[in-house]
């Protein structure tokens, strides 16, 4: 079983002030995890975790990570703007995007972010856009084929739209050096949400060996190797969580075996973990508001796929706790549904849970990353509030819920909706 990080009594206190649905985040868990990541890679002098802003773009939460030396991994203009506004600057921001508009490259350069190029053709595009090649530059590597750990296929990089081929990478480094780049980095993301301590060390070996070849072939001054994300979390109760300290030690061993003998013992290691940094420390809180007895048993809640689209989009599993019924037998089979005009708007299908009564509070676990951030407004549904459960047991609103005024805001330059009535 998964235990919520919030008690039933505390949740009732929060719900009395802020109506469901809402996202709730665990400050204590976030801090402990950020500290563990920092310690796991303390052996590397230049280590930095660049939190993937796309996972949970909330400035209150990002500021917590900033206290532990984290930077920001950005992939869009608004993510760059948020990071800049929060006081991150220069090498504290990594800009890893694809199919990148010129204005985003220009702004990334303006604020001094490290630009990580996704494609060989972006070398000329970047130079034409900003009139130069930055002195510090990175390239994203895609080795193609399938990515395996032992005999298990983890993912298929060859089908991914991201990155340079190996041949393009070597040629790209030579061209970038000729155009004035002085400091280089390499980046790769080969598998998503891995729940194994072997992923980073295996990826590191591939990148480290590639960097040794690059150094020999191009003479480029390679300053950092970015392992990107991919370190996952156990969404199902039977999965064993990753051990970040074991992962850090595994990377250290490969570093000592491959880079140090090649004279590259001062290369910095970077990571870009979003899911691992925040996923387990957020939950979606929702209330049972309807029950339906037809060909199946349904429980309708006041959240929907607008609030959390992963189950509808990927068929993803998210554990559900019926609060206040922890010791009850899970002897009822339910589909837990939202109210969208889409049949895939379900948080769980044929899930065994305790008997659910109207008004019961449900906690949907592990939504702290790629949860709120993937929300949308289909059916005119509004995005929920975000609340931080603080270490001292108090709680704070860190994003208000959307209102109809927010939904209609992009019509504010027209008169067409001027006669709209306020439902209240």
Residues 229/51, Cβ–Cβ less than 8 Å: no
Of 381, 384, 288, the C-alpha closest to 337 is 288
324 shares its domain with 263: no
- State the average pLDDT over residues 400-422: 91
244 shares its domain with 290: no
Cis check: omega of the bond before 127, within 30 degrees of 0: no
Q: Is the pTM of this model over 0.75?
A: yes
| 3-state DSSP percent of the chain in helix, strand and coil, to 5 | 35, 25, 40
Residue 15 lies in a domain: no
Residues 285/24, Cβ–Cβ less than 8 Å: yes
Residues 81/62, Cβ–Cβ less than 8 Å: no
Q: Which residue has the tokens 């298929």?
A: 156
Q: How confident is the model at residue 161 (pLDDT cuts 50, 70, 90)?
A: confident
Residues 187/234, Cβ–Cβ less than 8 Å: no
49 shares its domain with 166: yes
266 shares its domain with 301: no
Q: Of 220, 249, 279, which residue sits at a domain end? A: 279
261 shares its domain with 315: no
Residues 85-110 have pLDDT tens digits of 999 999 999 999 999 999 999 999 99
302 shares its domain with 214: no
- Checking DSSP bridges between strand 147-149 and strand 152-155, what pairing results, if any? antiparallel
317 shares its domain with 395: yes
Give the span between the Cα atoms of 95 and 210, in whole angstroms. Answer: 22
Give the span between the Cα atoms of 69 and 32, in whole angstroms. Answer: 14
Which helix (H) or strand (E) covers residue 106, if one does? Answer: helix 102-110
196 shares its domain with 269: yes
CATH number at residue 258: 3.20.20.10
Residues 130-144 have pLDDT tens digits of 999 999 999 999 988
Of 293, 282, 287, the C-alpha closest to 388 is 282
Tokens of 384: 């929920």
Residues 23/282, Cβ–Cβ less than 8 Å: yes
How does the average pLDDT of the chain come out, rounded? Answer: 95
275 shares its domain with 288: no
Residues 168-195 have pLDDT tens digits of 999 999 999 999 999 999 999 888 899 9
Residues 15/361, Cβ–Cβ less than 8 Å: yes
Residue 109 lies in a domain: yes
Residue 18 lies in a domain: no
Q: Which residues contact 69 (CB under 8 A, 6 or more apart)?
A: 38, 48, 49
Residue 419 lies in a domain: no
Residue 214 lies in a domain: yes
Catalytic residue among 70, 330, 341, 413: 341
| pLDDT score recorded for residue 151 | 53
Give the span between the Cα atoms of 220 and 21, in whole angstroms. Answer: 52
Q: Which domain holds residue 46?
A: 27-279
- State the average pLDDT over residues 219-246: 96
- State the average pLDDT over residues 260-271: 97
CATH number at residue 387: 2.40.37.10
Alpha carbon 90 to its chain centroid, in Å, reads: 21
- State the average pLDDT over residues 323-340: 95
Q: How confident is the model at residue 154 (pLDDT cuts 50, 70, 90)?
A: low
Partners of 269 in the beta sheet? Answer: 225
Give the span between the Cα atoms of 99 and 315, in whole angstroms. Answer: 27
Of 48, 49, 45, the C-alpha closest to 260 is 45
248 shares its domain with 377: no
Q: Of 279, 304, 330, which residue sits at a domain end? A: 279
Residue 2 lies in a domain: no
Residue 11 lies in a domain: no
Helix and strand tally (H, E) in the chain?
12, 19
Q: Which residues contact 344 (CB under 8 A, 6 or more apart)?
A: 305, 312
What does the CA dihedral 176, 251, 271, 63 come to, rounded to 10 degrees? -140
Please confirm, yes or no, whether 341 is among the known catalytic residues: yes
103 shares its domain with 208: yes
Residues 365-375 have pLDDT tens digits of 999 999 999 99
Neighbours of 18 (CB within 10 A): 18
- Checking DSSP bridges between strand 332-337 and strand 297-301, what pairing results, if any? parallel
| pLDDT score recorded for residue 418 | 82
Partners of 270 in the beta sheet? Answer: 48, 226
Give the span between the Cα atoms of 398 and 421, in whole angstroms. Answer: 29
Residues 22-54 have pLDDT tens digits of 999 999 999 999 999 999 999 999 999 999 999
Residue 401 lies in a domain: yes
214 shares its domain with 357: no
Q: Which residues contact 109 (CB under 8 A, 6 or more apart)?
A: 115, 130, 134
Can you list the alpha helix ranges (DSSP code H) found in 180-240? Answer: 199-218
Q: Of 228, 255, 279, which residue sits at a domain end? A: 279
Overall domain count for the chain: 2
Neighbours of 146 (CB within 10 A): 14
Burial class from Cβ neighbours inside 10 Å (0-12, 13-18, 19+) for residue 55 reads buried
Residue 76 has pLDDT above 70, yes or no: yes
DSSP per-residue string spanning 329-355 = ---EEEEEE-SSSSTT-EEEEEEEESP
């Amino acid at each position: 079983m998964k235990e919520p990080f919030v008690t039933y009594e505390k949740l009732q206190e929060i719900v009395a002030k802020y109506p469901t649905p809402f996202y709730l985040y665990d400050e204590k868990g976030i801090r402990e995890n950020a500290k563990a990541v920092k310690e796991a890679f303390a052996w590397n002098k230049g280590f930095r975790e660049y939190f993937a802003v796309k996972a949970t773009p909330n400035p209150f939460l990002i500021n917590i990570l900033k206290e532990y030396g984290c930077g920001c991994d950005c992939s869009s203009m608004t993510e760059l703007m948020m990071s800049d506004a929060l006081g991150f600057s220069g090498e504290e921001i990594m800009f890893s995007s694809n199919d990148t508009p010129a204005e985003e490259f220009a702004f990334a350069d303006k604020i001094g972010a490290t630009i990580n190029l996704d494609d060989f053709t972006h070398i000329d595009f970047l130079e034409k856009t900003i009139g130069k090649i930055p002195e510090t530059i990175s390239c994203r590597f895609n080795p193609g084929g399938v990515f395996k750990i032992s005999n298990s296929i983890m993912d298929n990089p060859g089908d991914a739209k991201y990155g340079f081929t190996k041949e393009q990478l070597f040629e790209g480094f030579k061209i970038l050096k000729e155009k004035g780049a002085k400091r280089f980095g390499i980046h790769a993301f080969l598998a998503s949400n891995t729940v194994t301590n072997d992923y980073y060390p295996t990826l590191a070996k591939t990148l480290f060996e590639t960097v040794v070849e690059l150094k020999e072939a191009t003479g480029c001054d390679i300053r950092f190797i970015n392992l990107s994300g991919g370190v996952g979390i156990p969404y199902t109760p039977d999965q064993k969580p990753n051990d970040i300290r074991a992962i850090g030690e595994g990377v250290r061993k490969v570093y000592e075996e491959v880079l140090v003998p090649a004279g590259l013992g001062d290369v910095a290691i970077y990571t870009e973990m979003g899911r691992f940094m925040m996923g387990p420390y957020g939950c979606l809180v929702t209330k049972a508001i309807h029950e339906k007895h037809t060909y199946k048993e349904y429980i309708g809640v006041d959240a929907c796929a607008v609030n959390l689209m992963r189950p509808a989009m990927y068929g993803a599993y998210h554990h559900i706790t019926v609060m206040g019924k922890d010791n009850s037998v899970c002897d009822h089979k339910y589909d837990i549904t939202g109210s969208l005009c889409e049949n895939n708007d379900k948080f769980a299908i044929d899930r065994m849970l305790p008997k659910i009564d109207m008004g019961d509070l449900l906690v949907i676990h592990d939504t702290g990353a790629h949860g709120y951030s993937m929300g949308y407004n289909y059916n005119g549904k509004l995005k929920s509030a975000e609340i931080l459960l603080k270490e001292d047991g108090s709680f704070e609103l860190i994003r208000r819920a959307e209102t109809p005024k927010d939904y209609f805001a992009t019509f504010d330059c027209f008169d067409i909706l001027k006669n709209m009535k306020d439902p209240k």
